[in-house]
Amino acid sequence: MLFTQFIFPHGRRQTVVIDMPLKIESKAEELQLSGWSFEIECFPDTQMVHMDCGNGDEPLANYICQNGPDVPVKVTELVNTAYEAWTRQGKPRAY
């Protein structure tokens, strides 16, 4: 699945691919096709990772975790939470 990663110290944006199970990638792709995006950044001083799915103004879901083996678990939770929120809202396009 695709994420926009913010690279410190200058906040440069880079597209990264994270391999996830097909079910998660399918949900993420459906959200992205409707205009929602996934963003991730790791703060180097604290090694905390912030990730969200949103439209630039409002997130459908966001998570913070320590950088390490929990990141893929939190990505799965992020996608599932965002997909559920989006579905409850009637699957609107991101504007």
**What tens digit of pLDDT does each residue of 25-61 get?**
999 999 999 999 999 999 999 999 999 999 988 899 9
User: 65: how many CB neighbours lie within 10 A of its CB?
Assistant: 18
In a domain? residue 73: yes
In a domain? residue 94: no
- What phi, psi does 62 have (nearest 5°)? -150, 150
In a domain? residue 93: no
Number of folded domains in the chain? 1
> Which helix (DSSP H) or strand (DSSP E) does residue 11 occupy?
none
Average pLDDT over residues 58-80: 96
CATH of the domain at 79: 3.30.720
Is residue 78 within 8 Å of 71, Cβ to Cβ? no
What is the model's pTM?
0.92
Is residue 14 over pLDDT 90? Answer: yes
Give residue 65's domain range.
2-88
